[in-house]
Amino acid sequence: MPDLNFQDLSTVQNALQPKPVYITGAVTIAPTTLITVISGTGTAIATVTPPVSGSHMLVLIFTNATPNTLASSGNVQRAVTPLQNIPVLLFYDTTTAKYWALSYAS
């Protein structure tokens, strides 16, 4: 996603912005909107492909009763074990090139 589409990641959206994307968890995921809904189990997500070059926030919502985890072996700063349907907030730090996770589940 070019940086010109940064508004697709804004916390302020209008009806013209893309709807949340639904993807299956994998070792690497590539969100393209502020909110990404993730299905699947077992595979730990280690790398999140940044959709823009600057600092930003992403919201991941895991829909499975035993959701994928976030592993710290890629660009996620610390491991997170999410709960079903509880949003996980990721904040991208351009200095470290890591996502810092905030989750009420871990």
pLDDT at position 7: 79
pLDDT in 10s for each residue of the chain, 106 residues: 567 777 788 888 888 888 999 999 999 999 999 999 999 988 999 999 999 999 999 999 999 999 999 999 999 999 999 999 999 999 999 999 999 999 775 5
Q: Evaluate whether 3 touches 53 at the Cβ level (below 8 Å).
A: yes
H helices then E strands: how many in the chain?
0, 7
Which strands, in side-by-side order, build the sheet including 35-39?
A: 21-24, 35-39, 56-62, 88-93, 98-102
pLDDT at position 62: 96
- Domain residue ranges of the chain, discontinuous segments joined by +: 58-106
Q: Indicate the DSSP class of residue 9.
A: G
Rounded Cα distance between 95 and 103, Å, is 22
**Parallel, antiparallel or unpaired: strands 35-39 and 56-62:** parallel
